């Protein structure tokens, strides 16, 4: 293996599924190609396996892809990708709106105000564009937050909007809602926390209602996450920065810009997509570095979720190492551009 330039890597401790997709694919190739042939040369093996891979790509259907082949799924994805439009252009067409906002106090990108509603940003944006009747807010933390509730009603009053604040579990809240009650259901940077409720959203919408989602790309914060994973590797020996994921990466992958269309198409007839490209610029100065370190440190809860207990145990040392690596990176290339790509998905019910 060394002679061929192949590096052997291992999945992390207590993570038996870390390499499952690769192992499953290798098994399929063995069962359907390799074990069925007696190859006489490397050239013959390359030709036979190559032909099978091409057939797999064009004809092999997958239940996870809606029983489409990889090629068919890819074509369908890009057909929807290029049909995108901005949510605001759709909202402008409405004379009346009664949206349900399904959000989280810990929205990624929600800002220091603690989410769009707490800071009033969402209400300001909606009120400046169209008349708005009623907003219901579900706090998916499922716990009382008097300050958040106070700020929500304060902003509703400021913008002359009737509001309702709900501390129920998001699933219980959705199940208690009457059918065809809302013109718009909006979820900003939170749907990856409960993608299992997608199937219940259509029943909440009126006939011409829209489900609007803002979510992250899997590449979001990628530059900082890679530095953090290198820092984790120095403190947690069983961690592999190439194959192992942080809790934040796993969370975003549950519903991202890259896989959101496929998940929505199972329950909605029409899905449109618009990518929002953005960068977070970090200059080589203490103010920018401290803000970046604090931002990652404040994400500790979601980052360590599902990881080895040692990550949480040595978090203080990991953050210090992360800061050192960030400073070293900025000395080599400053400013550092950090990916902050999001997307807007609009889904219309069947």
pLDDT in tens, 70-121: 888 776 665 544 333 333 333 333 333 334 433 322 222 233 333 444 445 4
Asked whether the beta carbons of 251 and 305 are under 8 A apart, the reply is yes
pLDDT computed for residue 290 by the predictor: 92
Q: What share of the chain is helix, strand, coil (3-state, %, to 5)?
A: 45, 20, 35
pLDDT computed for residue 314 by the predictor: 93
Asked whether the beta carbons of 71 and 58 are under 8 A apart, the reply is yes
pLDDT computed for residue 189 by the predictor: 75
Instruction: Collect the ranges in the chain with pLDDT lower than 70.
Output: 1-19, 75-145, 159, 167-171, 173-176, 178, 350
The structure tokens listed for 112 are 């220091």
Residues in the chain: 350
- The fold of the 94-216 domain, in CATH, is Rossmann fold (3.40.50)
State the CB neighbour count (10 A cutoff) for residue 171.
14
Asked whether the beta carbons of 342 and 109 are under 8 A apart, the reply is yes
Asked whether the beta carbons of 105 and 148 are under 8 A apart, the reply is yes
Q: Helices H, strands E: what count in the chain?
A: 16, 9
Per the listing, tokens 């349900």 go with 100
What does residue 211 show for φ and ψ, rounded to 5 degrees?
-105, 115
Asked whether the beta carbons of 217 and 342 are under 8 A apart, the reply is yes
pLDDT computed for residue 114 by the predictor: 37
Asked whether the beta carbons of 116 and 214 are under 8 A apart, the reply is no
Q: How far apart are the C-alpha atoms of 105 and 193, rounded to whole Å?
A: 12
Per the listing, tokens 């009346």 go with 96
Rg of the chain (C-alpha set)? 23
Map out the domains of the chain as residue ranges. 20-81, 94-216, 222-248+279-339
């Amino acid at each position: 293996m060394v002679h061929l330039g192949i590096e052997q890597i291992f999945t992390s401790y207590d993570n038996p599924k870390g390499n499952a997709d690769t192992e499953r694919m290798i098994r399929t190739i063995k069962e359907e190609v390799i074990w069925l042939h007696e190859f006489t040369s490397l050239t013959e093996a390359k030709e036979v396996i190559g032909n099978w891979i091409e057939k797999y790509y064009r004809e092999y259907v997958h239940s996870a892809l809606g029983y489409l082949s990889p090629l068919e799924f890819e074509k369908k994805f890009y057909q929807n990708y290029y049909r995108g439009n901005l949510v605001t252009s759709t909202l402008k067409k409405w004379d009346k709106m009664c949206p349900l906002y399904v959000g989280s106090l810990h929205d990624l990108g929600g800002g220091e105000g603690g989410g769009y509603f707490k800071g009033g940003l969402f209400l300001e944006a909606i009120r400046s564009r169209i008349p708005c009747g009623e907003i219901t807010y579900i706090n998916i933390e499922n716990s009382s937050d008097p300050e958040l509730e106070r700020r929500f009603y304060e902003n509703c009053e400021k913008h002359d909007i009737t509001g309702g604040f709900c501390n129920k579990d998001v699933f219980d809240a959705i199940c208690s809602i009457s059918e065809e009650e809302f013109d718009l259901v909006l979820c900003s940077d939170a749907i990856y926390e409960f993608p299992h409720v997608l199937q219940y959203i259509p029943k909440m919408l009126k006939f011409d209602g829209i489900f609007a989602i803002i979510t992250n790309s899997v590449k979001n914060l990628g530059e900082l996450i890679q530095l953090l994973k290198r820092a984790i590797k120095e403190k947690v020996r069983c961690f592999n920065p190439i194959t192992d994921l942080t809790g934040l990466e796993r969370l975003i992958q549950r519903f991202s810009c890259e896989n959101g269309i496929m998940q929505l198409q199972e329950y909605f007839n029409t899905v449109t997509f618009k990518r929002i490209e953005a960068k977070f610029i970090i200059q080589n100065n203490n103010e920018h570095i401290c803000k970046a370190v604090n931002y990652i440190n404040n994400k500790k809860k979601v980052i360590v979720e599902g990881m080895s207990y040692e990550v949480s145990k040595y978090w203080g040392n990991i953050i210090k190492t992360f800061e050192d690596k960030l400073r070293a990176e900025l000395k080599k290339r400053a400013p550092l551009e950090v990916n902050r790509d999001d997307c807007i998905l609009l889904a219309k019910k069947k």
